[in-house]
């Protein structure tokens, strides 16, 4: 076989090369088993994979004992959100992702982020960015623009305004529409509204990605809603951060997988992504305050806690939501009282000598907090991970080390799944773990020029040491960069060289054509 390849390559014309990664085990993103060979880069493209006859005086990187793979594509990030946006100078390099081997992040997820796609991409063009960024039109932002945070159905005029915003976003290069149906105001949208907007995204060959309405005991019902949207709008649907959340929902992953497989067999394009952790993370409000109390302005929301009628109702509902989860809900970031960061509602309740629900209310009245919630089972995480249609995605955002205690997923998702779950624990084969981080997400989002090690693709390439490619970030100490990436190329530019991080802004805003 090798001799044949050699003869074939000698017979071909030599390719001009800038970089040759020589003798690493190639996992090309297709899910095929690895094989030893060369990967050749010229300018911003991959120009040869396998045995390649090259010309010029390229830099030769010795890949012996290392793995070479396509740069990872993270379908689900919040790298466009608030203080953790890659548009902020401090986050521009997106080091917490590059050190995981992630070369492209998708934004607009959970319906959050800028609805002005042109403006967002323009800012990235102007200032530069460390990873590539591809955006989805965020439904919550679109709905807010059209009708504020109102708990009702849109008027015909408001619906048209939303349609127009989705249309404009898609024309400006978004890759689809994303919803977050536990968040305001998306939670107030009925299925019909989403179908109408998904039709607009479908017209432009986009996808529909959803943080579904339920991830707990009502998980299957939420999947049904997503499938309905796919069927009615004729659009590929994608379930974000699939899970079975809360003890009562444990084990539902099997039913969820069966339901999705049936839909796939029936011709619906449905996929999912997951992060390899048993804890999730979101806002405290989305975790313990029912949506019916979360409409209107921030001031109205806060004042509602002291309303003589609504206040006691809210307190009762929050008590019910917190009950039994006091130790499972951990404060990640709370600027007003940093001592509470990293502690559970239960721990704070003991410290402060007051009920856990009262602590939650105090935090909400002071502006809210981010939380980490320990609510999943390892078995469910495994069940989802094994599915060939489940991609890896972090649900994280651009972080730099600081004093908050966020979910470690922003620093560790990809090395954790590939290094820990696949290489160390053998839950899935390495070729599948790499595919779920590269070729699969590329196929899902609709990239045709990234996600595979193949001639003609953009040179987003990772070279890692399988012995040391691991996550270092923990729930207690999340601000720790992953280890084991030896070389990383973004659009042909080297951003990690010999394990050393270079401050290079080699990423691009990726526009859907």
Binding mask 163-202 for Zn ion (x = CB under 5 A): ----------------------------------------
The C-alpha atoms of residue 235 and residue 205 are separated, in whole angstroms, by 8
Alpha-carbon separation of residue 381 from 29, 74, 216, 387, 427 (angstroms) = 22, 18, 14, 11, 10
- The minimum distance between CB 246 and Zn ion, in angstroms, equals 16
Q: Which stretch binds Zn ion (CB under 5 A): 206-214, 316-324, 426-434, 447-455?
A: 206-214
Binding to Zn ion by residue 223, rule CB under 5 A?
no
The C-alpha atoms of residue 505 and residue 87 are separated, in whole angstroms, by 12
For residue 241 the two structure tokens come to: 């951060």
Dump the DSSP string for 46-57.
EEEEES--EES-
Which residues in the 343-402 window bind Zn ion by CB under 5 A? none
Asked if the bond preceding 185 is cis, omega within 30° of 0, the reply is yes
Q: Which stretch binds Zn ion (CB under 5 A): 31-39, 161-169, 209-217, 383-391?
A: 209-217
- How many Å from the N-terminal Cα to the C-terminal Cα in the chain? 40
Dump the DSSP string for 96-147.
HHHTTTEEEEEESGGG-S-S-HHHHHHHHHHH--SSEEEE-EEHHHHHHHHH
- The minimum distance between CB 218 and Zn ion, in angstroms, equals 16
Q: Which is nearer to Zn ion, 27 or 399 (CB)?
A: 399
Q: Which stretch binds Zn ion (CB under 5 A): 103-111, 146-154, 356-364, 429-437?
A: 103-111
The C-alpha atoms of residue 79 and residue 33 are separated, in whole angstroms, by 32
- The minimum distance between CB 76 and Zn ion, in angstroms, equals 7
Q: Which is nearer to Zn ion, 110 or 166 (CB)?
A: 110
- The minimum distance between CB 240 and Zn ion, in angstroms, equals 5
- The minimum distance between CB 212 and Zn ion, in angstroms, equals 9
The C-alpha atoms of residue 416 and residue 28 are separated, in whole angstroms, by 20
Q: Which is nearer to Zn ion, 211 or 407 (CB)?
A: 211
The C-alpha atoms of residue 283 and residue 373 are separated, in whole angstroms, by 10
Q: In sequence order, which residues have a C-beta less than 8 Å from that of residue 338 and are 6 or more positions away?
A: 403, 404
Strands 279-283 and 370-374: antiparallel
Size of the site for Zn ion (CB under 5 A): 2
Q: Among candidates 348, 183, 328, which has minimal Cα distance to 248? A: 328
Q: Which is nearer to Zn ion, 211 or 325 (CB)?
A: 211
Q: Which stretch binds Zn ion (CB under 5 A): 4-12, 86-94, 124-132, 208-216?
A: 208-216
Q: Which stretch binds Zn ion (CB under 5 A): 207-215, 270-278, 406-414, 422-430?
A: 207-215
Q: Which is nearer to Zn ion, 52 or 178 (CB)?
A: 178
- The minimum distance between CB 371 and Zn ion, in angstroms, equals 13
- The minimum distance between CB 110 and Zn ion, in angstroms, equals 4
Q: Which is nearer to Zn ion, 239 or 473 (CB)?
A: 239
Q: How many residues does the chain have?
A: 513
* From candidates 42, 78, 211, 416, binder to Zn ion by CB under 5 A: 211
- The minimum distance between CB 186 and Zn ion, in angstroms, equals 11
Q: Which is nearer to Zn ion, 218 or 502 (CB)?
A: 218
Q: Which is nearer to Zn ion, 110 or 488 (CB)?
A: 110
The C-alpha atoms of residue 437 and residue 430 are separated, in whole angstroms, by 11
* From candidates 102, 110, 212, 239, binder to Zn ion by CB under 5 A: 110
Q: Which stretch binds Zn ion (CB under 5 A): 20-28, 60-68, 102-110, 499-507?
A: 102-110
Q: Which is nearer to Zn ion, 75 or 227 (CB)?
A: 75
Q: Among candidates 120, 119, 95, 96, which has minimal Cα distance to 107? A: 120
Q: Which stretch binds Zn ion (CB under 5 A): 204-212, 269-277, 408-416, 444-452?
A: 204-212
User: To which H or E segment does residue 71 belong?
Assistant: none
- The minimum distance between CB 210 and Zn ion, in angstroms, equals 9
Q: Is 214 exposed, middle or buried (0-12, 13-18, 19+ CB in 10 A)?
A: middle
Q: Which is nearer to Zn ion, 28 or 273 (CB)?
A: 273
The C-alpha atoms of residue 220 and residue 72 are separated, in whole angstroms, by 30
Q: Which residues bind Zn ion (CB under 5 A)?
A: 110, 211
């Amino acid at each position: 076989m090798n001799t044949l390849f050699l003869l074939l390559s000698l017979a071909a014309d030599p390719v001009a090369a800038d970089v040759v990664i020589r003798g690493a085990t190639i996992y090309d993103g297709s899910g095929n088993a690895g094989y030893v060979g060369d990967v050749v880069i010229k300018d911003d493209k991959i120009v040869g994979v396998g045995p390649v006859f090259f010309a010029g005086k390229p830099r030769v990187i010795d890949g012996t004992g290392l793995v070479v793979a396509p740069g990872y594509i993270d379908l689900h990030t919040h790298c466009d959100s608030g203080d953790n946006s890659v548009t902020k100078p401090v986050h521009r390099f997106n080091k917490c992702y590059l050190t995981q081997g992630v070369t492209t992040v998708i934004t607009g997820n959970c319906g959050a982020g800028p609805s002005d796609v042109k403006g967002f991409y323009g800012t990235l063009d102007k200032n530069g960015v460390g990873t590539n960024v591809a955006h989805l039109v965020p439904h919550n932002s679109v709905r807010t623009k059209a009708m504020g945070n109102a708990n009702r159905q849109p008027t015909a005029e408001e619906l048209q305004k939303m349609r127009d915003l989705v249309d404009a976003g898609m024309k400006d290069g978004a890759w689809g529409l994303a919803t977050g149906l536990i968040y305001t105001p998306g939670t107030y949208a009925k299925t019909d509204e989403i179908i109408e907007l998904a039709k607009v995204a479908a017209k432009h060959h986009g996808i529909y990605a959803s943080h579904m309405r339920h991830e707990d005991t009502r998980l299957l019902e939420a999947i049904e809603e997503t499938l309905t949207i796919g069927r009615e709008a004729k659009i590929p649907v994608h379930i974000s951060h699939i899970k079975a959340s809360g003890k009562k929902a444990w084990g539902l992953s099997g039913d969820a997988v069966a339901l999705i497989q049936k839909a796939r067999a029936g011709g619906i394009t449905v996929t999912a992504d997951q992060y390899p952790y048993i804890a999730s993370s979101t806002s405290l409000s989305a975790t313990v305050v029912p949506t019916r109390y979360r409409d209107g302005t921030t001031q109205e929301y806060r004042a509602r806690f002291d309303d003589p009628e609504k206040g006691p109702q809210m307190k009762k509902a929050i008590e019910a939501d917190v009950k039994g989860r006091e130790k499972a809900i951990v404060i990640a970031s709370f600027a007003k009282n940093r001592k509470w960061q990293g502690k559970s509602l239960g721990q704070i309740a003991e410290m402060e000598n007051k009920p856990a629900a009262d602590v939650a209310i105090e935090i909400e009245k002071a502006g809210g907090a981010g939380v980490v919630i320990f609510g999943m089972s390892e078995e469910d995480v495994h069940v989802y991970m094994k599915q060939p249609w489940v991609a890896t995605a972090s649900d994280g955002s651009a972080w730099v080390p600081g004093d908050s205690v966020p979910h470690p997923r922003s620093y560790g998702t990809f090395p954790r799944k590939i290094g820990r779950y696949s290489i160390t624990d053998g839950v899935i084969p390495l070729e599948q773990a790499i595919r779920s981080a590269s070729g699969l997400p590329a196929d899902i989002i609709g990239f045709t020029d990234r996600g595979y090690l193949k001639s003609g693709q953009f040179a987003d390439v990772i070279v890692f040491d399988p012995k040391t490619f691991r996550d270092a970030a923990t729930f207690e100490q999340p601000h720790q960069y992953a280890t084991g990436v030896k070389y990383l190329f973004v659009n042909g530019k080297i951003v990690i060289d010999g394990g050393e991080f270079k401050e290079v802004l080699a990423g691009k805003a990726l526009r859907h054509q």
